[in-house]
Amino acid sequence: MRATAGEERRPFCQLRSTDLVKRHKPPLFVLIALVAGLAGGLLIASSLEWTPVSAGRSKPDSLSQNSSPSAARALAGQLSDLFESAADKVSVSVVPIFSEQEVQVASPFGSPEDPFRDFFGDDFFKHFFGQIPQGDQKQTVRGLGSGVIVSSDGFILTNNHVVDGAEKLTVVMSDQKKYSARVIGTDPQTDVAVIKIEAKNLPAVTLGNSDNVKVGQWVIAVGNPFQLLHTVTAGIISAKGRSNVGLADYEDFIQTDASINPGNSGGALADLDGNVIGINTAISSPSGGNVGIGFAIPVNMARNVMDQLMKQGKITRGYLALMPQDIDENLAKALRLKRTEGALVGDVTPDGPADRGGIKRGDFITTFNGEQVKNSTALRNLVAQTAPGTSVKISLLRDGRELQVKVILGERPRGRGGREQQPEAQQPEAQTSKKLGLTIQNLTPDIAQQLGYQREHGVMVTEVAPGSPAEEAGLQQGDLIKEINRVAVTSARDFNRMLASLRNGESVALLVRRGQNTFYVALQLP
């Protein structure tokens, strides 16, 4: 289930000065592409690059139709010319960004109150190590990432994690001229940032349209891996619309097999026309090195954030105030839906924009303002990229009927939401369904008050048997089951009566509340 519009998280990896810190997400680790090195040591940069294929390019004649050696050489030469032209066009506009930040580092000799220093005395340590630093010391952590010049007057697009926490930023141009940079704005929720240098007549990139890229397209990635400035690598677009990677709150990554390494973060992913279609951000790797799985922020998403940061220095996002979720074939069957592509409304905030526009729990959203909604992540991204106050048309399915509603978007709250931790709910009066491997009980006033469910109805799940249909469906202890097949459940007896009326093998749609989130679960009756 995708996070709700009110639920946010900050999954970025922290950076350490001496090693690459990997985010554990079995079986692979997601590596943020910015790595810092201690002062005086080797300066290691981290970043990622992806190379998408140029959209709309005509397909070359196959070698089988014209297979002479001269024709093959000519075709290879034409392809080489395309790569060379794209590299020349993009490389001059991708710059290294050097960052510096002071951090507190514990003294290896301990504090003045350390018992070992009390025992041996400072003279003992001075004899072997010289002057002893007192207490924690400040050290400068340096990092290297990449950025893309987007305007001739010095605006540069990069990743938030490239500049986050930096006290000093330096940009080096291709002619080795150095500029101090200031941060215009950052957006950790997309990992996008904009910085500015005071310069004129700079070579700005051409921003393309990431919606038009195709899987299999050739692309180039340009950046500064391991201080090897202006490095160009090539590959293809491996996939589009990657989400749940764990890097940002809003994810719609382009995946590429172009070689990405530490130092490429914030660099360009471009098509063979030299149009930037993505901002390289991260790699997925079990070892910290490139294994051909990299992620880039689509330039359309980055451009939307960049424009807001440049104009107003902050980000505002549209807001529906509902809980969207994806569905699989079992849940679609239980809800009598003929498709799984879309977003199911698990819950609607009372008096929120969606509620005022007529959207109800159980609606299945298929389009948003004319754009097809593939899943809950796509809906969330579409809403976020639309300005608050915009009137949008939303197509949906309700009880087998196609409807269209108009909703005026609100502004997404700035606070970060979270899920309540579920205390164990155990009561002696419990009823067990051995068939489902599920134990339930009535929602008593005491439990309702404890969990904040005073105005709710349903039955509480007090136990889920390992390996049971209930566990396979994802039910957990503490869940509140509110509906079966869109019919309200008011008691444990009610729940068992409804189950008894269903046939073996039938798919059942349960409406479940867990903490602050409400969503549907499909359960297959044995």
24 in catalytic set: no
Least confident of 88-97, 394-403, 517-526: 517-526
Query: What value does the mean pLDDT of the chain take?
Result: 79
What is the enclosing helix (H) or strand (E) of 444?
none
Q: Give 285 or 243, the one with higher predicted confidence.
A: 243
Which tokens go with 22? 């990997």
Contact 519, 1 (CB under 8 A): yes
Tell me which of 93, 99, 161, 164 is the catalytic residue: 161
Q: What pLDDT shows up at residue 360? A: 94
What is the enclosing helix (H) or strand (E) of 521?
strand 517-524
Q: What are phi and psi of 43, to 5 degrees?
A: -85, 110
Tell me which of 17, 210, 265, 507 is the catalytic residue: 265
Q: What is the mean pLDDT of residues 265-274?
A: 94
Tell me which of 17, 54, 91, 191 is the catalytic residue: 191
Q: What pLDDT shows up at residue 235? A: 93
Q: What pLDDT shows up at residue 427? A: 36
Residues 191-220 as b/e (b if ≥16 CB within 10 A, e otherwise) read bbbbbbbeeeebebbebbebeebeeebbbb
Examine domains 318-411 and 431-524 and report if their fold is the same: yes
* Parallel/antiparallel/unpaired status of strands 206-207 and 275-285: parallel
318: nearest Cα among 184, 410, 397: 410
Give me the amino acid identity at 381.
N
479 in catalytic set: no
pLDDT at 113 > cutoff 70 = no
Residue 319 CA to its chain's centroid (Å): 18
328 in catalytic set: no
| pLDDT tier for residue 118 given thresholds of 50, 70 and 90 | low
Contacts of 205 (CB under 8 A, 6+ apart): 90, 93, 94, 148, 149, 150, 268, 270, 274, 275, 276
- CATH number belonging to domain 318-411: 2.30.42.10
What's the CA gap between 333 and 313, in Å, rounded? 46
Its CATH class, for the domain covering 431-524, is mainly beta
Q: Give per-residue pLDDT as tens, 130-187.
A: 555 555 567 788 889 999 999 999 999 999 999 988 899 999 998 889 999 999 999 9
Please report the beta strands in 252-340, taking only residues with DSSP state E, as ranges in sequence order: 253-256, 268-270, 275-285, 294-298, 318-319, 322-325
Give me the amino acid identity at 166.
A
Q: Give per-residue pLDDT as tens, 448-462.
A: 777 778 778 888 888
Q: What is the mean pLDDT of residues 36-46?
A: 33
189: nearest Cα among 323, 310, 309, 98: 309
What's the CA gap between 174 and 166, in Å, rounded? 23
Q: Give per-residue pLDDT as tens, 219-263.
A: 999 999 888 888 999 999 999 988 877 778 888 899 999 988 888
What's the CA gap between 315 and 308, in Å, rounded? 6
Give the ranges where 92-180 is alpha helix by DSSP (H). Answer: 115-120, 122-129, 160-163
Q: What pLDDT shows up at residue 507? A: 85
Its CATH class, for the domain covering 17-57+73-95+145-315, is mainly beta
Domain borders along the chain are: 17-57+73-95+145-315, 318-411, 431-524
Contact 260, 221 (CB under 8 A): yes
What's the CA gap between 148 and 354, in Å, rounded? 38
Please report the beta strands in 409-500, taking only residues with DSSP state E, as ranges in sequence order: 410-411, 431-433, 438-442, 459-464, 480-484, 487-488
CA 446, 451, 452, 454 torsion-angle sign: negative
